[in-house]
Chain A
């Protein structure tokens, strides 16, 4: 076998091996990449779904202040207080978790938060909550309502 022939034979073998190696490597890489991409897409889909649902529910949550009245001590309420009646006019049930009353009159900025664990309101229903607050006649009060979805609803009232 001539030297030239030997070289020619070796070249053919190397080519096959190389091709196999390359093919294997590429296949492995391809499979890995596919696996990774599937996992990644699935994770992203979940994240997108969570964000989407959360945000849409938040957007669809709606609440109005049906009525607010101020009262002096009476019955079980031994101090000045407010009655806040909230109406759920959105398309979902909601949970009122906090009402914060803030006096925005002049420099008196007393702010008192009240927390509720039973503030659920189903769709189209209303909820009345009594909130003790040392209001004085003429006080300008901000009434801020928080829901468990993180929405905030605010209104202003002047104490009689």
Chain B
């Protein structure tokens, strides 16, 4: 048995070992599988956690100036993300969705600009659905300019719902972003339309929406827009307002209705009063708006434009470069209707002689007037030579018919000429040619009947002097006595009388005695050189040089021996001359001469870009009335030179009214133009470029009465407006401020002493000053107002001129006492108290905005 047990133990052990090995193997495998499984689960768990931790947001969406998509995407999660794709679906475009591959990584907290990743053209008026997808599957949807196809909860309320005619009510429009998937809305813009239910044009939106849009509306956020609407009409007239948002779902509209109800007992009821701001003169309340050179209280530094008197020494506006001149009115304090008619800007201006980039001439005869200092004398517009150019033989002046239909002189070929310029040595710098580079230009017309072989047009040197005084000669002539030059323009000079001559002339293929105006220019870089241009084209630059080895200096012995239409001897011009310019020490090049040839010295001398527009209170355009290029005619300063010692040239002071000419810009409107409360009228005069455009200088805000007496003023006249345009507000701190109110009815009214005040407050709100009512219409039949006496009756459609005691703290009904305000800017308000002829009380507070108090 002992043996058996031993055997059994061996067998059992073998089996046991086999079983244990098998079990261990199985367990090991199982553990291995479990390990892999766990590893996979952990890996998947990690991926899912990363997916959950990943987050990004569209911080902003914008459209660049070039109408490209822009925006900022921020990694708002805790792990880096990779943006993979952007989808853009433009609403209204079927079956086209643009896909942009982004493939950009963002670290936590960092941002990327969309414009750096995609180049997408956007239209600010269209709606876009966009989606950004990350590599881990995070999808972020957002909507620009539109909620896409999802309706949004909207609410519209009129507060109050019932108001008297002419009063305003507030319309509040709210939009809630409850879009699915936490979508974000960008650029939410409201749309409100007023539809009269009963009455005629009952609702008039005066201001709003405020704000104009919400740049971004996150899920759950509410956008609220405010409108101020004036109701006008009879009892029970009503207006329905329909509101939605731009590019919204078609029937996602909410409505509300407001009614006109006369309030019989109220704190704000009764006669409608319209503010006109402050002024000292009722007589200026016309449709004339003067351009002022002050820019205080304008939204963006524009010049003021209002009906108040021009004051101060004035300003000359140089319209000659890219700087625009902008003039703007104060904001209207009541709905202002401008009737159909002509809108006119009158500028008191004169022109420069040549376009920008072309050297100013040494002297110039523009021939725009026959009435120079002496009888028929003319003079140099540049002002370099302050002497008359004497008239002989009375050439005929023609007011039009010249090139560009400007004025010119006709020479009869017998005895008409201009010359014997009584100039002194001091002017030699402008006239002595010597060996200099020079250019001489003339507009000339030769009749077809001319058969002469020589006629002087513009000439230096007197052929009539005796041989011992024989002058050198320099001239532009028609012919040179030779048969070959008959009918041709000639540019020549002779520095050794009758022996050293340099000459250029036009080709004999064409005769210029053709009854047409030609712009003839002779130019040289010095002695022994000549170039002849006709109508801006180089005709001859190969000088015919005869004996050129002689003296190189032009020597005119008598400085006055410069002639137009005469050679000083026996030759006269038959023809017309419209303009002569001469550049000493300057040879103009071909490009410049062509530009001069094309420059218009008639009706289209200066092209200005005129823009007339409505703006909101901040000067931001809310409607263009006119925006086009407009041409002003050439105006030469010499026109008003009327005595030998009163030559008006470009060197006269800018304050001299005689330099200026009143030119008009006019356009018309065929319907009423309405300015809502708070809006402004703005006029912009801009420069249209240098090419063939003569700079224009205009004078404005100059109190010299000569301007007004001679009707040479700069102003803007609109068609009749109701009410009249407001003025800017600026007054001395000791001034008895006058405030103008127009009673637009329907009832007449009295103002009471008790609650009629003028108040200013510092911009930080820490100090206020008040002015007590002193009188109403004291200069036109009214009188003082005090605790024992109300104002005189102000009938419907009449103005009331409310005069206040100087502003003080505390307000005092006298000139002295109290603390005066310092000079500076303040916010101003007027409190009006009174009752109308129906016995109804009115209390009104009218904000005047920012005023300037002068110390």
Secondary structure at chain B's binding surface: helix, strand, loop or mixed?
A: helix
With contacts A23-B11, A26-B11, A49-B33 taken as known, whether A83 is within 8 angstroms of B97 at the C-beta atoms is: yes
With a cutoff of 8 Å between Cβ atoms, the chain A residues found around residue B844 in the complex are none
With a cutoff of 8 Å between Cβ atoms, the chain A residues found around residue B135 in the complex are 89, 124
Is residue A114 within 8 Å, beta carbon to beta carbon, of the partner chain? Answer: no
With a cutoff of 8 Å between Cβ atoms, the chain B residues found around residue A67 in the complex are 87, 97, 99, 131, 133
With a cutoff of 8 Å between Cβ atoms, the chain B residues found around residue A41 in the complex are 22, 25-26, 29
| Closest Cβ neighbor of A51 among chain B residues | B33
Distance to closest chain B CB from A145 (angstroms): 14
Interface mask (A99-137 → B, CB under 8 Å = 1, otherwise 0): 000000000000000000000000010100000000001
Distance to closest chain B CB from A83 (angstroms): 7
Distance to closest chain B CB from A92 (angstroms): 11
CA distance A83 to B95 in the complex (A): 8
Is residue A154 within 8 Å, beta carbon to beta carbon, of the partner chain? Answer: no
Query: Would you call A52 and B37 a contact (CB within 8 A)?
Result: yes
Size class of the A contact interface (CB-based, 8 Å): 35 or more
With contacts A30-B15, A60-B40 taken as known, whether A23 is within 8 angstroms of B7 at the C-beta atoms is: yes
Distance to closest chain A CB from B99 (angstroms): 8
A1-32 contacts to B, CB under 8 A, are 15, 19, 23, 26-27, 30
CA distance A45 to B29 in the complex (A): 8
CA distance A69 to B129 in the complex (A): 10
With a cutoff of 8 Å between Cβ atoms, the chain B residues found around residue A137 in the complex are 149
CA distance A72 to B89 in the complex (A): 14
Contact pick for A30, options B18, B36, B99, B148, CB 8 Å: B18
Interface mask (B27-44 → A, CB under 8 Å = 1, otherwise 0): 001100100110011011
Distance to closest chain A CB from B143 (angstroms): 13
With a cutoff of 8 Å between Cβ atoms, the chain A residues found around residue B149 in the complex are 137, 158, 160
Distance to closest chain A CB from B541 (angstroms): 67
Distance to closest chain A CB from B776 (angstroms): 64
Interface mask (A50-88 → B, CB under 8 Å = 1, otherwise 0): 001000100110101111010110110100000101010
B15-66 contacts to A, CB under 8 A, are 15, 18-19, 22, 25-26, 29-30, 33, 36-37, 40-41, 43-44, 47, 51
Distance to closest chain A CB from B79 (angstroms): 15
With a cutoff of 8 Å between Cβ atoms, the chain B residues found around residue A91 in the complex are 43, 47
Query: Would you call B137 and A89 a contact (CB within 8 A)?
Result: yes
With a cutoff of 8 Å between Cβ atoms, the chain A residues found around residue B19 in the complex are 37
With a cutoff of 8 Å between Cβ atoms, the chain A residues found around residue B787 in the complex are none
Distance to closest chain B CB from A12 (angstroms): 11
CA distance A62 to B139 in the complex (A): 14
Query: Would you call B97 and A69 a contact (CB within 8 A)?
Result: yes
Query: Would you call B11 and A56 a contact (CB within 8 A)?
Result: no
Distance to closest chain A CB from B444 (angstroms): 71
Query: Would you call B95 and A66 a contact (CB within 8 A)?
Result: no
Is residue B136 within 8 Å, beta carbon to beta carbon, of the partner chain? Answer: yes
With contacts A27-B11, A30-B11, A45-B29 taken as known, whether A69 is within 8 angstroms of B89 at the C-beta atoms is: yes
With a cutoff of 8 Å between Cβ atoms, the chain A residues found around residue B137 in the complex are 62, 64, 87, 89
| Closest Cβ neighbor of A138 among chain B residues | B149
Is residue A38 within 8 Å, beta carbon to beta carbon, of the partner chain? Answer: yes
Query: Would you call B95 and A72 a contact (CB within 8 A)?
Result: yes
Distance to closest chain B CB from A40 (angstroms): 9
With a cutoff of 8 Å between Cβ atoms, the chain A residues found around residue B95 in the complex are 69, 71-72, 74-75, 77, 83
Distance to closest chain B CB from A74 (angstroms): 4
With a cutoff of 8 Å between Cβ atoms, the chain A residues found around residue B684 in the complex are none
B549-590 contacts to A, CB under 8 A, are none
Size class of the B contact interface (CB-based, 8 Å): 35 or more
Query: Would you call B40 and A59 a contact (CB within 8 A)?
Result: yes
With a cutoff of 8 Å between Cβ atoms, the chain B residues found around residue A15 in the complex are 1, 4
With a cutoff of 8 Å between Cβ atoms, the chain A residues found around residue B139 in the complex are 64-66
Is residue B14 within 8 Å, beta carbon to beta carbon, of the partner chain? Answer: yes
Query: Would you call A126 and B85 a contact (CB within 8 A)?
Result: yes
CA distance A34 to B23 in the complex (A): 11
With a cutoff of 8 Å between Cβ atoms, the chain B residues found around residue A66 in the complex are 85, 87, 131, 133, 139
Query: Would you call A19 and B18 a contact (CB within 8 A)?
Result: no
Distance to closest chain B CB from A66 (angstroms): 5
| Closest Cβ neighbor of A66 among chain B residues | B133
| Closest Cβ neighbor of A157 among chain B residues | B180
Is residue B283 within 8 Å, beta carbon to beta carbon, of the partner chain? Answer: no
Distance to closest chain A CB from B12 (angstroms): 8
Tell me which of A19, A37, A65, A67 has the highest count of chain B C-beta atoms within 10 A of its own C-beta: A67
Distance to closest chain B CB from A125 (angstroms): 10
With contacts A26-B11, A89-B136 taken as known, whether A52 is within 8 angstroms of B94 at the C-beta atoms is: no
| Closest Cβ neighbor of A156 among chain B residues | B180
CA distance A59 to B47 in the complex (A): 11
Distance to closest chain A CB from B590 (angstroms): 60
Query: Would you call A38 and B33 a contact (CB within 8 A)?
Result: no
Query: Would you call B11 and A37 a contact (CB within 8 A)?
Result: no
CA distance A137 to B148 in the complex (A): 13
With a cutoff of 8 Å between Cβ atoms, the chain B residues found around residue A65 in the complex are 139
With a cutoff of 8 Å between Cβ atoms, the chain B residues found around residue A124 in the complex are 84, 135
CA distance A16 to B11 in the complex (A): 16
| Closest Cβ neighbor of B87 among chain A residues | A67
| Closest Cβ neighbor of A65 among chain B residues | B139
CA distance A49 to B408 in the complex (A): 110
| Closest Cβ neighbor of B48 among chain A residues | A62
| Closest Cβ neighbor of A29 among chain B residues | B15
CA distance A23 to B293 in the complex (A): 128
B416-475 contacts to A, CB under 8 A, are none
Query: Would you call A160 and B87 a contact (CB within 8 A)?
Result: no
CA distance A158 to B41 in the complex (A): 35
With a cutoff of 8 Å between Cβ atoms, the chain B residues found around residue A77 in the complex are 95
With a cutoff of 8 Å between Cβ atoms, the chain B residues found around residue A62 in the complex are 47, 137
With a cutoff of 8 Å between Cβ atoms, the chain A residues found around residue B180 in the complex are 158
CA distance A34 to B18 in the complex (A): 7
With contacts A34-B22, A66-B87, A75-B95 taken as known, whether A19 is within 8 angstroms of B4 at the C-beta atoms is: yes
| Closest Cβ neighbor of A30 among chain B residues | B15
CA distance A65 to B131 in the complex (A): 11
With a cutoff of 8 Å between Cβ atoms, the chain B residues found around residue A158 in the complex are 149-150, 180
With a cutoff of 8 Å between Cβ atoms, the chain A residues found around residue B26 in the complex are 41
Distance to closest chain B CB from A42 (angstroms): 10
| Closest Cβ neighbor of A59 among chain B residues | B44
CA distance A37 to B30 in the complex (A): 15
CA distance A19 to B139 in the complex (A): 78
Interface mask (B85-111 → A, CB under 8 Å = 1, otherwise 0): 101010000110101000000000000
Query: Would you call A87 and B22 a contact (CB within 8 A)?
Result: no
Query: Would you call A37 and B4 a contact (CB within 8 A)?
Result: no
CA distance A13 to B19 in the complex (A): 32
Distance to closest chain B CB from A124 (angstroms): 6
B506-531 contacts to A, CB under 8 A, are none
Distance to closest chain A CB from B267 (angstroms): 50
CA distance A85 to B149 in the complex (A): 20
Query: Would you call A38 and B11 a contact (CB within 8 A)?
Result: no
With contacts A60-B40, A67-B131, A87-B133 taken as known, whether A30 is within 8 angstroms of B4 at the C-beta atoms is: no
Distance to closest chain A CB from B164 (angstroms): 45
CA distance A26 to B4 in the complex (A): 13
11 chain-A/chain-B pairs, Cβ below 8 angstroms: A48-B33, A59-B44, A62-B137, A64-B133, A64-B139, A67-B97, A87-B85, A91-B43, A126-B85, A158-B150, A158-B180
Q: Assuming A45-B29, A67-B97, A160-B149, what are 20 further A-B pairs, CB within 8 angstroms?
A: A19-B4, A26-B11, A30-B15, A30-B18, A37-B22, A41-B26, A41-B29, A52-B36, A52-B37, A56-B40, A66-B87, A66-B133, A71-B95, A74-B95, A75-B95, A83-B97, A85-B87, A87-B137, A137-B149, A158-B180
Across chains A and B, which 5 residue pairs bring their CB atoms closest together, nearest first? Answer: A71-B95, A89-B137, A160-B149, A64-B137, A74-B95
